[in-house]
Amino acid sequence: MENGDLGHMMGEPVSLNVGGCVYSTSLSTLRRYPDSLLGAMFRGDLPTVKDSRGNYFIDRDGPLFRYILNFLRSSELTLPCGFKETALLRKEADFYQIEPLIQCLGDPRPLLLYPTDTYEEVVELSSTRKLSKYSNPVAVIITQLTITTKVQSVLESVSSSFTKWTKHMMDSRDFQVSFTFGPCDYQQEVSLRVNLLEFISKAGFAIRNTRVLHMSERANENTVEHHWTFCRPVQKGDD
């Protein structure tokens, strides 16, 4: 999607094919939360795909996208009485990285502490960003993303695949890879988060838990922390 096309389409409807369900909305709705996956996609920061009819295609749960879209329109979560797919909707909110919706849905059940050498392998991804009210309101002063896991192949592949993001520093140590970069804007920060989430998912890991924490460290700073926990069955003979 070209940025010029985006500007032209601001007042026009946008059609999306989400898992076979077609929805119509506006760019302003899709961009309501700039640091979400949809915000990044429809700013032109991430590649998009169209189906044979020209609808933007997203390979996710089509029926549940109804609730995602309604939340984007109103910033309120309204679910039908007796709704039984909260866990699935939470996974969709995780995928789209819509922070206020994640908070509305609440944290899932705590991660069960299975012995990682028997049942599961775990990857923890955390993101910390500090925003300053004295600068451009969308500027990210500093952002650090850290991946922690005992799955050595994941650490090695992340270290070798994300070298272009080492604007300031990449710190590799036992069981951990950290990226520290900035000042940067939302586009760079979201792009790195999205690419890391996709990279970990393609390695066979699924999101098991997610948390978002807002806090003020000093009068002139706000800190936002994201935490994701990924799990996969142990693959015997690996690592």
The domain locations on the chain are: 3-105, 120-233
| Interval 222-239: pLDDT, tens | 677 777 788 887 765 544
Indicate whether 115 pLDDT > 70: no
- Superfamily of domain covering 3-105: Potassium Channel Kv1.1; Chain A (3.30.710.10)
Angle between helices 86-96 and 65-74 (to 10 degrees): 60
Indicate whether 148 pLDDT > 80: yes
Indicate whether 111 pLDDT > 50: no
Average pLDDT score over residue span 188-207 = 79
Identify the three-state secondary structure at position 34.
coil
Binning pLDDT at 50, 70 and 90, where does residue 187 land? low
**Whether 23 contacts 38, CB under 8 Å:** no
pTM of the model: 0.54
**Whether 83 contacts 66, CB under 8 Å:** no
Binning pLDDT at 50, 70 and 90, where does residue 74 land? confident
Binning pLDDT at 50, 70 and 90, where does residue 55 land? very high
